[in-house]
């Protein structure tokens, strides 16, 4: 298994694969169908080609955070699903200016040397999104590679899409997001030192800035956490928001792991966001806040025990 950050200068071992092409943020059922089509369409190696950064981030850098997965999680999930290779195609001014035919010739044929390409029915490419799936199929016939177009995949009666996952998370519906994803959504990152407010109140927390990850609805969640990508998932409760009671600041995911006593600073923490318990509130006193946190922990334990 290998990851390449360009389409140029590839070794012979990385060329000639059957390639699933798209953004692959979230790896939902539709993405997996595109990947399966690439697996079936090839004769040996199966690869996934995605864009880094995503075109949306390049064209609309001031948009709110929208990534469902960080690149590392996306890539590892792709490899875990059976791909031999991940190509992170650098999306920059040069690629943005390519015509649809220029992209196919320069990136897919000359760069990746594709044997076969699979895409979703709504895939667009080339300058100004001029190219579409049928155009790719036509170019493939002319340039000597096969193309499979995967039709719309439904989940819960609606199109399986990254947009639907984002909408569910922003609405405080992590269960709905998990149905589309096929697993719990995970917020991850390096644990940072915080203001120590949780510890002083009897609820020490591990703090994560989500950065480029999608920001879920502000509030309290039942969660499970894993430390340094290994070991068991541990039950807990988390708040995502600005903590208005103790002082408004940038949104932060603060996770309290039940029955855990250890130093997490500097460690990589994964947090499965499982169930929304209540909105973030401002309390008049710290005693009221502690009472609410105690009730949150009780409710989170009950919710997780019933899964």
Q: 142-146: which pairs have CB atoms within 8 A and are 24 or more residues apart? A: 143/104, 143/105, 143/109, 144/109, 145/108, 145/109, 145/114, 145/115, 145/116, 145/117, 146/41, 146/115, 146/116, 146/117
CA 50, 22, 106: angle at the middle one, nearest 5? 65
Q: What tens digit of pLDDT does each residue of 30-66 get?
A: 999 999 999 998 777 999 999 999 999 999 999 999 9
Q: What tens digit of pLDDT does each residue of 164-208 get?
A: 999 999 999 999 999 999 999 999 999 997 666 666 667 889 999
Mean pLDDT of 152-172: 85
pLDDT, position 261: 86
Q: How far apart are CA 307 and CA 24, in angstroms?
A: 28
C-beta separation of 271 from 255 below 8 A: yes
Q: Is it the case that residue 138 has pLDDT exceeding 80?
A: yes
Pairing of strands 146-150, 219-227: unpaired
More confident residue, 42 or 147: 147
CA 180 vs. chain centroid, Å, equals: 12
Question: pLDDT band for position 160 (50/70/90)?
Answer: confident
pLDDT, position 295: 97
Q: Which residues in 178-207 are b (16+ Cβ under 10 Å) and which e?
A: bbbbeebbbbbbebeebeebbeebebbbbb
Report the chain's C-alpha Rg in angstroms.
22
pLDDT, position 221: 98
Q: Is it the case that residue 102 has pLDDT exceeding 90?
A: yes
Where in the chain is CATH 2.40.30.30? 184-305
pLDDT, position 286: 87
pLDDT, position 262: 86
Q: How far apart are CA 22 and CA 47, in angstroms?
A: 12
Mean pLDDT of 90-95: 97
Question: pLDDT band for position 247 (50/70/90)?
Answer: low
The CATH label, of 3.20.20.150, 2.40.30.30, 3.40.50.300, 3.40.1350.10, for the domain at 184-305 is: 2.40.30.30
Where in the chain is CATH 3.40.50.620? 2-155
Question: pLDDT band for position 142 (50/70/90)?
Answer: very high
Q: What tens digit of pLDDT does each residue of 252-307 get?
A: 999 999 999 888 999 999 999 999 999 999 888 888 888 999 999 999 999 999 88
**Percentage of the chain lying above the pLDDT 90 cut:** 81
Q: pLDDT averaged over the chain? A: 93
Q: Is it the case that residue 246 has pLDDT exceeding 70?
A: no
The CATH label, of 3.40.50.620, 3.40.50.300, 3.50.50.60, 3.40.309.10, for the domain at 2-155 is: 3.40.50.620
């Amino acid at each position: 298994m290998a990851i390449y950050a360009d389409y140029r200068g590839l070794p012979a071992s990385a060329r000639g694969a059957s390639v699933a092409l798209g953004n692959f943020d979230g790896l939902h059922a539709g993405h997996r169908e595109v990947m399966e089509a690439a697996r079936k369409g090839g004769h040996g190696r199966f690869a996934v080609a995605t864009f880094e950064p995503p075109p949306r981030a390049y064209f609309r850098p001031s948009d709110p955070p929208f990534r469902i997965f960080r690149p590392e999680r996306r890539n590892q999930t792709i490899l875990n699903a059976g791909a031999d290779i991940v190509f992170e195609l650098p999306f920059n001014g040069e690629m943005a200016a390519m015509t649809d035919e220029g992209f196919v010739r320069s990136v897919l044929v000359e760069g990746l040397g594709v044997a076969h390409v699979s895409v979703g029915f709504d895939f667009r490419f080339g300058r100004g999104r001029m190219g579409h799936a049928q155009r790719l199929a036509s170019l493939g016939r002319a340039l000597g590679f096969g193309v499979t177009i995967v039709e719309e995949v439904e989940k819960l009666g609606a199109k399986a899409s990254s947009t639907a996952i984002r909408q569910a998370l922003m609405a405080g519906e992590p269960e709905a997001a998990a149905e589309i994803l096929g697993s719990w959504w995970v917020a991850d990152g390096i644990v940072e030192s915080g203001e120590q407010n949780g510890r002083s109140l009897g609820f020490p927390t591990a703090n994560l800035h989500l950065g480029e990850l999608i920001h879920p609805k502000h509030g309290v969640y039942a969660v499970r956490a894993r430390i340094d990508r290994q070991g068991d998932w541990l039950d807990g409760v988390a708040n995502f928001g600005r903590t208005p009671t103790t002082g408004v600041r940038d949104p932060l995911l603060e996770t309290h792991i039940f029955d855990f006593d250890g130093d997490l600073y500097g460690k990589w923490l994964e947090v499965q966001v499982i169930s929304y318990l209540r909105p973030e509130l401002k309390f008049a006193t710290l005693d009221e806040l502690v009472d609410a946190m105690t009730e949150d922990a009780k409710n989170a334990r009950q919710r997780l025990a019933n899964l």
